Amino acid sequence: MTVPPPDAGPAPELSRPVVVDRLPPEGRTLAVVATEAECAALAARFGLDALESLTGTAVVRPLGGRRRAPLYGVDATVTARVRQTCVVTLDSLVREITETVCQRFVGSDSAKGPDRGSAVDVDPEAVLDPPEPIVAGCIDVGEVLAEGLGLAIDPHPRADDAVFTPPPDGTIGEEAGGVEPDTAPDQASGPFAALAALR
């Protein structure tokens, strides 16, 4: 069962909050299908021409930890169909994206008693990144999927058969700070002439 957390600002584009205190020991599996409005909001967030679809599955489970700082894990897969513009041809591109996301979250509950010692089942690689804080007792699986999508999007999409051809006037080279061959410094004269003569 999921419930929206208390209002803490603008609503996220894709929100599926899960109350961690209600999780069974084996965890819970969620299936997410973004609505048309949610897809439009995510497309605007990530600068896409369109987000045609987004689906995802996530497993949210407790990982143990200390009583005052319990750990939870989210292992999810997001699949999306995105439309972007090729940076070379300016043609419209439609790409399928599948991304796996693993995040860890830590809670805080001072109402529970002192830690009596508990086993912690945590992926060693996850320790390298500190866990995210749990807000209002909820983990937003929708935001986890959205962040996974954002990481998988190609910031410079390019068609497979796109070939870049620079303009003949050399505009690209000048804009990029390049030096044309006929304007390169002449080492045979000027302050470098004396050094050249010593070689």
For 33-82, the pLDDT digits (tens) are 999 999 999 999 999 999 999 999 999 999 987 777 899 999 999 999 99
pLDDT (tens digit per residue) in 123-176 = 444 445 789 999 999 999 999 999 999 999 999 999 877 666 676 665 555 444
User: What pLDDT, on the 0 to 100 scale, is given for residue 199?
Assistant: 53
- Enumerate residues 6+ apart whose C-beta is below 8 A from 28: 18, 59, 60, 61
- Phi/psi region, residue 190 (left: phi>0; alpha: psi -120 to 50; beta: rest), is left
Do residues 157 and 84 make contact, with C-beta atoms less than 8 angstroms apart?
A: yes
User: What pLDDT, on the 0 to 100 scale, is given for residue 112?
Assistant: 40
Angle between helix axes 141-152 and 36-46 (nearest 10 degrees) is 50
Per-residue b or e along 54-76, where b marks 16 or more CB atoms closer than 10 Å to that residue's CB = bebebebbbbebbbeebbbbbbb
Do residues 149 and 99 make contact, with C-beta atoms less than 8 angstroms apart?
A: yes
Q: Which run of H or E residues covers position 41?
A: helix 36-46
User: What pLDDT, on the 0 to 100 scale, is given for residue 143?
Assistant: 97
pLDDT (tens digit per residue) in 75-120 = 999 999 999 999 998 999 999 999 999 999 998 753 343 344 444 4
Do residues 101 and 144 make contact, with C-beta atoms less than 8 angstroms apart?
A: yes
For residues 84 and 148, what is the distance between their CA atoms, to the nearest angstrom? 17
Q: Which of 9-13, 61-65, 163-167, 185-189 has the lowest mean pLDDT?
A: 185-189
Detail the DSSP E strand segments found in the chain: 17-19, 28-33, 50-66, 69-85, 92-106, 132-133, 138-140
**CA 15 to centroid of chain Cα atoms:** 16
DSSP letter for each residue of 130-176: PPEEPBTTEEEHHHHHHHHHHHHS-SS---TT------TT-HHHHHT
